[in-house]
C-alpha cells in the first residue's frame, strides 16, 4: 500500500534511525523528513538514504503552523510520526521557554495542521494516524529500594544474563504523570494534547513512552556519546551527584523497530511503554564504558579510571526510571534484539570509528556552549 508519511525530527538521533528503517523497508512509502536542523539536527546522520526516490527532506519549524499546514497538503500526508523535540534535560533547566515552544506549541501546531488537512478530505480520518513519540520521564521518578540491585522480575534479550532491578515498582501505561524537569513537563503536556485531539476531534492517535536510548548518531551532550568521546581524549567524566541514579537502556534500533510495529499494528488511542528491563546505575554503566573504550583503544585495564569526576548533581535529578513493556510484548510480540553488552560494544566501536562525525559536532559553537553549561560544576 502506498503511504505518505511525515517524520518530524528525522535528522536527530532516534528520528534518523526511524527514517532509515522506513526508507529501506517500505520502498512504496514516501517518507518526508521535517526537521528544523537545530543544534541537534544533523543531515550527516542520513547520508546513506539522502538520494533515495522515496525520501525527501524539508527544513521547517514544527511550531510554524502555516509551514506545517502547507507541508501536510503538498505531500498529502496520511501518517505522522512525531519525534521533533528539544530533548536534553540539562538544557531545559537553563532555557525552559524553548522547550515549551517546541515541545508543546510545536506538537499543537502539528496536531491542528493534521486535523485541518484530514477533516477536509472526503474519507476524513480513515486510514490516518498521528503517532506521538514520548518518554518515560513523564511518569516522574521511582524509588531506589534495592540500592545494590536485586534479580529483575522480568527479563528480555536486552537484560539477558541475569541483570538487576533497583526497585520493585515499574512505570506502567496507567502510571500517573508526575514530571519533574521542564523537559519532562513539556513532553507530558504534549502527550495530553495528543490524547485530547483523539477525545475531542476523533483523531486517530497513538502515544509511546520509551526509556533511555543508546546507539550511533546520538548528540554528544548525552551521557554515552559524551563519555566515550571524553575517555578517548583523556578528558574528565562529569558524574552528576554520586552516580547512583538508575536508567533503563534500550538500543535505538530496537526502539525504531517498536515504532514501525506500533505504527502499523498498534491499537488507536492506546499508549505503549517501550523498554528492555535493562536497568543500570550510572556509575556502573560508566565503568563499562571506560573498560570498553580502553580495551578497544589498546589501553591497559584501569587506564582511564582516574577520569571519573564527581560534580554537582543535576537539579531535580530523577533517581530511577524503569519501564514495564509487557503490554507491547504481549500484544504485538515486540522484543529487544540485542543484549546490552553487545549493544554497548557496537555503540562504542561506532563512535570510535566515526571520529569525523564526532569532531564536526564537538568543534566551534558546540564547544562554546559546553564550556558555558559546565563551567562552575
Ligand atoms: P534529538 O535531540 O537527537 O533530535 C531532535 C530533532 O528534532 C533534531 O533533529 C532537531 O533538529 C529537531 N527539532 C528540534 N526542534 C525542532 C523544531 N522546532 N521543528 C522541527 N524540528 C525540530 O532527540 P532524540 O533523542 O532523537 O529524541 C527524539 C524524540 O524521542 C523526542 O521527542 C524525545 O522526547 C523522545 N525520546 C527520546 C529518548 C532518548 O533516550 N533520546 C527516549 C525516549 C523518548
Ligand atoms: O528516559 C528517556 C530520556 O532519556 C529521554 O526522554 C531524553 O530525551 C534523554 O535525553 C534521556 O534523558 P536522561 O537525562 O536520562 O539522559 P542523559 O544522557 O542526559 O543522562 C543520563 C544519566 O546520566 C542521568 O542520570 C544524568 C547522568 N549524567 C548525564 C550527563 C550528560 C551524568 O552523570 N553526567 C553527564 O555529563
pLDDT tens, N- to C-terminus, the chain (377 residues): 899 999 999 999 999 999 999 999 999 999 999 999 999 999 999 999 999 999 999 999 999 999 999 999 999 999 999 999 999 999 999 999 999 999 999 999 999 999 999 999 999 999 999 999 999 999 999 999 988 888 777 878 777 665 689 999 999 999 999 999 999 999 999 999 999 999 999 999 999 999 999 999 999 999 999 999 999 999 999 999 999 999 999 999 999 999 999 999 999 999 999 998 999 999 999 999 999 999 999 999 999 999 999 999 999 999 999 999 999 999 999 999 999 999 999 999 999 999 999 999 988 555 555 566 555 55
Question: Which residues form the pocket of ligand 1, taking CB atoms under 6 Å from any ligand atom?
Answer: 8-9, 11-15, 35-38, 40-41, 61-63, 83-87, 102, 106, 133, 135, 187, 210, 212-213, 219
Is residue 377 a part of any domain in this protein?
no
pLDDT at residue 75, as a whole number: 98
Q: Give phi and psi for 118, each to the nearest 5.
A: -70, -35
Residue 117 lies in a domain: yes
Within 8 A by CB and 6+ apart from 328, the residues are: 258, 262, 272, 273, 274, 334
- Residue 145: which domain range? 3-215+249-277+318-340
Cα 39 to middle of ligand 1, angstroms = 11
3-class secondary structure, 339: coil
372 is catalytic: no
Measured in angstroms, how far is the CA atom of residue 84 from the centroid of ligand 1? 4
| Ligand closest to CA 210 | 1
CA 64-67-73 angle, to 5 degrees, is: 135
Is residue 225 domain-resident?
no
Among the options 136, 244, 248, 294, which is catalytic? Answer: 136
Shortest-distance Cα residue to atom 32 of ligand 1: 83
CA-nearest residue for atom 14, ligand 2, is: 89
Give how many domains the chain has, as a whole number: 1
Residue 375: the pLDDT is: 57
Ligand 1 probe mutation, 12, 71, 188, most atoms within 8 A of CB? 12
Whether 25 is covered by a domain: the verdict is: yes
> Residue 170 class from Cβ within 10 Å (0-12 exposed, 13-18 middle, 19+ buried)?
buried
Measured CA to CA, the distance from residue 96 to residue 35 in angstroms comes to 20
Nearest ligand by distance to the CA of 273: 1
Angle at 165 between CA 161 and CA 166, to 5 degrees: 145
**pTM of the complete model:** 0.97
Q: Is 183 a catalytic residue?
A: yes
Distance separating the N- and C-terminal Cα atoms of the chain: 54
Spatial distance between the Cα atoms of 158 and 150, rounded to a whole number of angstroms: 17
H or E segment at 194? helix 182-201
Q: How far is the CA of 86 from the centre of ligand 1 (A)?
A: 6
Determine if ligand 2 sits within 6 Å of the CB of residue 271.
no
- Write the DSSP symbol of residue 159: G
Interatomic CA distance for residues 81 and 10, integer angstroms: 9
Which is nearest to 22 in space by CA: 31, 9, 13? 31
Atom 17 in ligand 1: residue holding the nearest Cα: 61
**Among all ligands shown, which has an atom nearest to the Cα of 9?**
1
Task: Determine contact, residues 135/184, Cβ cutoff 8 Å.
Answer: yes
Listing DSSP states for 3-56 in one string gives EEEEEETTTSHHHHHHHHHHHHH-TTEEEEEEE---TT--GGGGGGGTT-TTEE
Q: Is the residue at 310 inside a domain?
A: no
CATH code, domain with 180 = 3.40.50.720
User: Which atom of ligand 2 lies at the shortest distance from residue 237's CA?
Assistant: 36
Distance in angstroms (rounded) separating the CA atoms of residues 150 and 337: 23
Annotated catalytic residue: which of 35, 78, 86, 137?
137
Q: Whose CA is nearest to atom 6 of ligand 2?
A: 135
Active site residue 116: no
Residues 377, 110: Cα–Cα separation, whole Å: 38
In this structure, is residue 292 part of a structural domain? no
Note whether residue 309 is domain-resident. Answer: no
Protein residue closest via CA to atom 28 of ligand 1: 83
* pLDDT given for residue 369 in this prediction: 56
Centre of ligand 2 from the C-alpha of residue 246, in Å: 10
Ligand closest to the CA atom of residue 218: 1
Q: What's the pLDDT score for residue 370?
A: 54
Q: How far is the CA of 222 from the centre of ligand 2 (A)?
A: 6
Distance 87 CA to ligand 1 centre (A): 5
In a domain, 127, yes or no: yes
Contacts of 6 (CB under 8 A, 6+ apart): 32, 34, 71, 72, 75, 77, 79, 80, 81
Q: Are strands 79-82 and 164-165 parallel, antiparallel or unpaired?
A: unpaired
Amino acid at each position: 500500500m502506498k503511504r505518505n508519511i511525515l517524520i518530524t525530527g528525522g535528522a536527530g538521533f532516534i528520528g534518523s534511525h526511524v527514517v532509515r528503517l522506513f526508507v529501506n523497508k517500505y520502498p512504496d512509502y514516501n517518507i518526508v523528513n521535517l526537521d528544523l536542523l537545530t543544534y541537534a539536527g544533523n543531515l550527516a546522520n542520513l547520508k546513506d538514504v539522502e538520494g533515495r526516490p522515496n525520501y525527501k527532506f524539508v527544513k521547517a519549524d514544527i511550531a510554524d503552523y502555516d509551514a506545517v499546514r502547507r507541508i501536510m497538503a503538498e505531500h498529502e500526508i496520511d501518517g505522522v510520526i512525531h519525534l521533533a523535540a528539544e530533548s536534553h534535560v540539562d538544557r531545559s533547566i537553563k532555557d525552559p521557554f524553548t522547550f515549551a515552544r517546541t515541545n508543546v506549541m510545536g506538537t499543537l501546531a502539528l496536531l491542528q495542521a493534521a486535523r485541518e488537512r484530514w477533516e477536509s478530505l472526503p474519507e476524513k480520518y480513515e486510514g490516518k494516524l498521528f503517532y506521538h513519540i514520548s518518554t518515560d520521564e513523564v511518569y516522574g521518578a521511582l524509588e531506589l529500594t534495592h540500592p545494590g540491585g536485586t534479580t529483575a522480575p522480568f527479563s528480555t534479550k536486552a537484560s539477558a544474563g541475569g541483570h538487576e532491578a533497583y526497585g520493585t515498582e515499574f512505570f506502567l501505561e496507567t502510571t500517573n504523570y508526575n514530571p519533574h524537569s521542564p523537559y519532562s513537563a513539556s513532553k507530558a503536556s504534549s502527550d495530553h494534547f495528543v490524547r485530547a485531539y483523539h477525545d475531542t476531534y476523533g483523531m486517530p492517535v497513538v502515544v509511546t513512552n520509551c526509556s533511555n536510548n543508546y546507539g550511533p548518531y546520538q548528540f554528544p551532550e548525552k551521557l554515552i556519546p559524551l563519555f566515550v568521546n571524553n575517555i578517548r581524549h583523556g578528558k574528565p567524566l562529569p558524574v552528576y551527584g554520586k552516580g547512583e541514579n538508575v536508567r533503563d537502556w534500550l538500543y535505538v534500533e530496537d526502539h525504531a523497530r517498536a515504532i514501525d510495529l506500533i505504527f502499523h499494528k498498534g491499537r488507536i488511542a492506546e499508549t505503549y511503554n517501550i523498554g528492555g528491563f535493562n536497568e543500570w546505575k550510572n556509575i556502573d554503566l560508566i565503568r563499562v564504558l571506560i573498560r570498553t573504550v580502553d580495551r578497544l583503544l589498546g589501553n591497559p585495564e584501569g587506564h582511564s579510571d582516574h577520569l571519573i569526576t564527581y560534580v554537582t548533581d543535576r537539579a531535580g535529578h530523577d533517581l530511577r526510571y524503569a519501564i514495564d513493556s509487557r503490554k507491547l510484548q504481549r500484544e504485538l510480540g515486540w522484543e529487544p534484539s540485542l543484549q546490552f553488552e553487545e549493544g554497548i560494544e557496537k555503540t562504542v566501536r561506532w563512535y570510535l570509528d566515526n571520529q569525523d562525525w564526532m569532531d564536526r559536532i564537538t568543534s566551534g559553537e558546540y564547544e562554546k556552549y559546553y564550556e558555558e553549561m559546565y563551567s562552575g560544576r
